A and B are shown apart, each in its own frame.
Chain A
Amino acid sequence: MKFLRRFLIRLSHFATRRRADQRLQEEIAEHLALQIEENLSAGMAPAEARRQAAIKLGAVHAIREHHHAEHGIPFIENLLFDLRYAVRMLLRSPGFSLIAIATMALGIGATTAIYSVIDATLLHPLPYPNPSELVRIQDDLPGVGARGVGISVPEWRDLESSGIFQSAAITGTGANVNLTGTAQPLRLSFKQVTPNYFAVLGVDAQLGRTFNPHDATPGYNLEVVLSDGLWRREFGADPHILGKAVRLDNDVYHVVGVMPRGFRDQGSTSDEQNVELWLGAGFAGVPFPPPLRSSRQRSRVVIARLKPGLSIAAAQGHLDALVESLTKQYPAEYPAQTAWTVRLIPLTETVVGSVRQSLILLFGAVGLVLLISCVNVANLLLARTSVRAREIAVRQALGAQRTRLIRQLLTESLLLFLLGGVAGFGILFLARKFLLQLIPDSLPHMNDIAISWGVLGFALAVSVIAGTVFGLAPAWLMSRLDLTSTLRQEGRGAGGSRQRSRARQALVISELALSLVLMVAAGLLLRSFWDLFAVQPGFNPDRVMAIETWLPGPNDPTMDPYQTATQEAVLLREILSRTRALPGVQEAAVGDEDSLPLGHSHPSPLPLIREGIETMENQAPVIESPIVSPEYFHLLGMPLLRGRIFSEQDIETTPQVAIINQAAANTYWPNQNPLGKRVRLHLDTRGLASSAEPVWTTIIGVIADARTESLADAATPQIYRSVYQRPAKDLAIFLRGQLDPGAVSAQVRQQVQAVDATLPVFHAETLDEVLSTSLSVRRFSMEMIAFFAATALLLAGLGIYGTISYVVNEQRREIAIRLALGAQRGTILKLVLRRGLGLAAAGAGVGVAGALIVSHLMAGLLFGVSPNDLPTFAGVTIVLTGVALAASYIPALRAMRLDPITTLHSE
């Protein structure tokens, strides 16, 4: 308290600039007078009395300084002093200041931009209270190589009552539902969740309520919670929405609540995070299959909130024990060879997932750019030594302390860096709209990217740290001037000390090395991207469009107009014949969402049971299983290798047939003819309520592999089934021909709704667009890194130019003498260029070593190119050397054209 009071009084003195000096002087005068009087009365001579009084009082000046320091805050006063001086110095050399500030603005601005993305994605991935307690529960069957096989309802109940979690909820991974009764039938993204879902997340409704966590309805409880966006968009933010009925897939639900604005669901894709409806369900009654321990659903996720204070590792320990006891209790359900395990994964990790690596790479790259900018500015600061050496030497000669000098120089560099940081932040803030457009939509949490206070804080912190680190070294070196030699050199400017020129060279070499690392990274990414772009996808996306629709799936199957394949086939055939007649259309086909090449976000593989090999679905490998119409393969140009394609005669009542791709044939029937083999795909997504004995499906054809999952992955095993035998709700209509992408959506909608007016039609895309979107994150990171590499190269070029100019300037006497003695001008040129080349070689050497490390770290992001790719390394080194030579050429020319007579005279 006392300290605080003292500080506040001093602060107020400082702020009001009140001086206590006058008062002190008066007091001292009085003090001296009294002392002299006393000395006189003690019998001293007047002169002696005055002398003794002064001695007794002590050094008046020191006392005044002490008194002044006690009165105000000397630290801040000095800082202001230094700042004023620094501003004056910056204004005195505006060219230097401008370049330095612009360089730092670039470095800090770019770093801050990437940080703002990372802040929204990696650092704040979960907008829920106590996010560290949230986990995702995944179960694997490592014994048969199956991961994420899904959790059955009895298993979920075991987890709920295990005491490890506050609560655990089942959620779908998001699906679509048709909302009818509005102007246009809408396809909305919904999630079916157990009623305790929102309790697990810890978020409440802004209007009404969420589901009652203790609700134990086995099927759908017919309650719906809306997102704020949907409520505003489709219901005009109706405050009386609670209790109203909405028709979803022909079932009537009642609105019980509206989630707050800004609430974002968890999940790894933007589709999942943009869910607009939540339906409460127990997952244990119609339309869900009976809750058997063995009926696992891959499309379901269990998330849970750990008991407070329980670490993930500890919880995993408890869970392992639970799994072990369950395995003993139900040996038939959990055969030993499948090695059933249950894992806890922090929810954070599952949300950011795949982009983490790209973002970290970007942040690393931008960090290098920042480092290079800092090095460049440090280099500029050092270069100024020659200009300011005299000034500093004079101040030192007058008794300035070294620490005081360093403090002042540091203030100058900090001011430079801070101005740069503020400028960079300002530019970023003004350009944010434009920059956000560059970011691909597929990035999770795209909408949360904001230039916030935290981001500003980051920019300032980076400026201050960089300014301190990179300002300290030049300040240190500057304050170690050799006084006599500097002062003796009159106006010539200091011939830099050896130390300083060595420091400069080290800085340039590191700049070159860092930019080489960045350029190699950019080169490798560019080559990967190019290879991916050029890769044969195995299907032909030219002139193909996909338009999606969604058939309702009411909870009561008997209410479903498209319950059976036969019923659905009527609709599909009608849609196909109508769309085929549209202008420009040459071919048409339909498939489910899984058949959309590169476009489907929720692959849901099914257990594959081969006749005579697997006996229990628990032990089966899993396989992706798109459902398509017979025209699909021809439309996409996927050639048949053996057997036959589906025909129009393969229908519900004829034997079930399937087509596999080459990869599936190689994986599951190596060295055998797969034609005629029989399989069963159990746990199918639809029709589970009718639990008739599943029938065998015969393989009738093998098609060539296609990269329909990801361009980067060679084909994954696929088994295709006919939509006329296996109805699907999530449909895509494929059209090939001379199509007008702008008009197709409306034309198809008209035709589809002419057949059934309740069907929504949405999301028309050309396959070329889908292809390019699937590469968008890669393209984004490649473009950014290429941009950073170009910036780095430019900065490094400037750095080497500055250093060589400086060296030439320093040696101009020597060069003039050589010229006067008859040296060839060409020799001088070579002399200077060799210096530049020397620096470039050193930089390249260090850089190649660094680049090798970095390229191996980013191997996961590369495609078709080795991390040690020789052409990339060689090309980048040549470019760097070329730039270094070009940058040295201008000062070299200047050296060559030096006039020996004037130069020698002027010295």
Chain B
Amino acid sequence: MKKKPDVLQGTLALMVLKTLDLLGPQHGYGIARRIEQISGDLLDVNQGTLYPLLLKLEHEGAISSEWGASENNRRARFYRLTAVGRKQLQAETRDWEQTAAIIAGFFNVKAEDLR
């Protein structure tokens, strides 16, 4: 069986931000589920590692959090993207696309192109 790739540190943060951007405020479990769904179960994440990351993003000011009620009326902590976070997401998206484009360029290059 092929090993599922580890999630790169920065990438996970990017995924969290994008998820919150798409779906609005979410609790920790919700974020973990969405990431799992979007990645098509290809990523193997210990979902617990999400929480220190959420704390870090909160300290950085990219997200904020508050207590609220979950779908089945239980107390849960909801995370929401802040303006700072939105800007960070845009910047990182741009960076990521650029990197991806460069790498893609390398893969697509053929020997004749370099003559």
Contact = CB atoms under 8 A, between A and B. Distances in A.
A642 B56 CA distance: 98
Contact of B55 (A33, A37, A67): A67
B34 interface: no
A23 B28 CA distance: 12
Contacts of A37: 72
Interface string A45-68: 000000000001111101100110
Interface string B32-73: 100000000000001111011001100111000000001010
B76 interface: yes
Interface stretch (A2-10, A356-364, A703-711, A766-774): A2-10
Given A30-B27, A34-B70, A63 B51 contact: yes
Contacts of A28: 48, 51
Interface hub of B29, B56, B61, B76 (most chain A Cβ within 10 A): B29
Given A27-B28, A27-B77, A58 B55 contact: no
A842 B31 CA distance: 72
Nearest to A3: B60
B51 A27 contact: yes
Contacts of B70: 30, 34
B59 A60 contact: no
Contacts of B32: 31
Nearest to A34: B29
B74 interface: yes
Interface residues of A, number: 29
A441 interface: no
B59 A5 contact: yes
Nearest to B53: A70
Contact of A59 (B48, B51, B52, B72): B48
A27 B74 CA distance: 11
Contacts, number: 71
B4 interface: no
A66 B52 contact: yes
Contacts of A71: 55
Interface in A20-38: 20, 23-24, 26-28, 30-31, 33-35, 37
Contacts of B72: 37
Contacts of B77: 23, 26-27, 30
A60 B77 CA distance: 18
Contacts of B75: 26, 30
A20 B65 CA distance: 13
Nearest to A6: B59
B51 A58 contact: no
A70 B46 contact: no
Contacts of B52: 63, 66-67, 69-70
Interface in B64-100: 70, 72, 74-77
A620 B79 CA distance: 95
A60 B60 contact: no
Contacts of A58: 46-49
Nearest to A31: B29
A33 B74 contact: yes
A57 B46 contact: yes
A499 to B, nearest CB: 42
Nearest to B58: A9
A69 B28 CA distance: 19
Contacts of B27: 27, 30-31
A69 B56 CA distance: 10
A60 B76 CA distance: 18
Given A59-B48, A66-B49, A30 B55 contact: no
B59 A67 contact: no
Interface hub of B28, B29, B48, B72 (most chain A Cβ within 10 A): B48
Contacts of B59: 5-6, 9-10, 70
A50 to B, nearest CB: 15
Interface hub of B27, B28, B32, B55 (most chain A Cβ within 10 A): B55
A72 B40 CA distance: 35
B76 to A, nearest CB: 5
A56 B28 CA distance: 14
B58 to A, nearest CB: 9
A56 B41 CA distance: 12
Nearest to B84: A2
A33 B55 CA distance: 21
Interface in B1-51: 27-29, 32, 46-49, 51
A18 to B, nearest CB: 12
A2 B60 contact: yes
A6 B13 CA distance: 15
A57 B76 contact: no
B47 A70 contact: no
Given A30-B70, A34-B29, A56 B47 contact: yes
B38 to A, nearest CB: 17
Interface hub of A27, A62, A71 (most chain B Cβ within 10 A): A27
A762 B77 CA distance: 89
A30 B79 CA distance: 14
B53 to A, nearest CB: 8
A63 B47 CA distance: 10
A30 B51 contact: no
A67 B29 contact: no
Contacts of B47: 31, 35, 56-58
Contact of A56 (B46, B51, B60): B46
Interface hub of A31, A33, A69 (most chain B Cβ within 10 A): A31
A177 to B, nearest CB: 72
Interface hub of B32, B47, B56 (most chain A Cβ within 10 A): B47
B48 A60 contact: yes
B29 A70 contact: no
A416 B90 CA distance: 53
Contacts of A31: 27-29, 32, 47-48
A30 B74 contact: yes
Given A30-B76, A31-B32, A33-B74, A6 B60 contact: yes
A66 B56 CA distance: 11
A20 B28 CA distance: 15
A695 B28 CA distance: 109
A896 B32 CA distance: 76
Contacts of A35: 29, 47
A34 B72 CA distance: 9
A33 B28 CA distance: 12
A320 to B, nearest CB: 59
A9 B48 CA distance: 22
A63 to B, nearest CB: 4
A6 B28 contact: no
Nearest to A20: B55
Nearest to B60: A2
Given A30-B70, A34-B70, A5 B60 contact: yes
Contact of B29 (A2, A30, A62): A30
Nearest to A37: B72
Contacts of A69: 52
Contacts of B74: 30, 33
B6 to A, nearest CB: 13
B56 A70 contact: yes
A66 B9 CA distance: 14
B61 to A, nearest CB: 6
A700 to B, nearest CB: 96
A224 to B, nearest CB: 66
Nearest to B32: A31
A35 B29 CA distance: 8
B56 A6 contact: yes
Given A9-B59, A66-B52, 8 more contacts: A6-B59, A10-B59, A20-B55, A23-B77, A27-B28, A28-B51, A57-B47, A66-B49
21 contacts: A2-B60, A2-B61, A6-B60, A20-B55, A24-B51, A27-B28, A27-B51, A28-B48, A28-B51, A30-B75, A31-B48, A56-B47, A57-B48, A58-B48, A59-B46, A59-B48, A66-B52, A67-B51, A70-B56, A70-B59, A71-B55
Closest 4 A/B residue pairs (Cβ) = A58-B46, A63-B48, A58-B48, A66-B52
Interface of B: 27-29, 32, 46-49, 51-52, 55-56, 59-61, 70, 72, 74-77
